[in-house]
Amino acid sequence: MKTNDYVKYVTQQLVTYMDQPKEVKKAQRYQRKLERSPVVYQLFGVIPFAIMMLFKKKKM
């Protein structure tokens, strides 16, 4: 991909985003936030999940 193509693509994406109504942008941000994994998993990986599963198993 040449630089000119990349600039054209980024410009198109920016213009389409800016043309959207405010409510649509807000809904998209909220949806992305819901789909994101918890911060603990992002920072430390699967280890907190494994520890949580271990404690849940012991309680039963």
- Those residues whose C-beta lies under 8 Å from the C-beta of residue 38, and which sit 6 or more positions away, are none
Q: What is the secondary structure of 1-60 as a DSSP string? A: --HHHHHHHHHHHHHHHHHS-HHHHHHHHHHHHHHSPPHHHHHHTTHHHHHHHHHHHHH-
Please tell me the pTM assigned to this model: 0.51
Q: What is the pLDDT of residues 3-60, one digit of tens each?
A: 899 999 999 999 999 999 999 999 999 999 998 877 777 777 788 778 888 888 766 5
HSE on the CB side for 21, CA within 13 Å?
A: 3
Q: Is the pLDDT of residue 1 over 70?
A: no
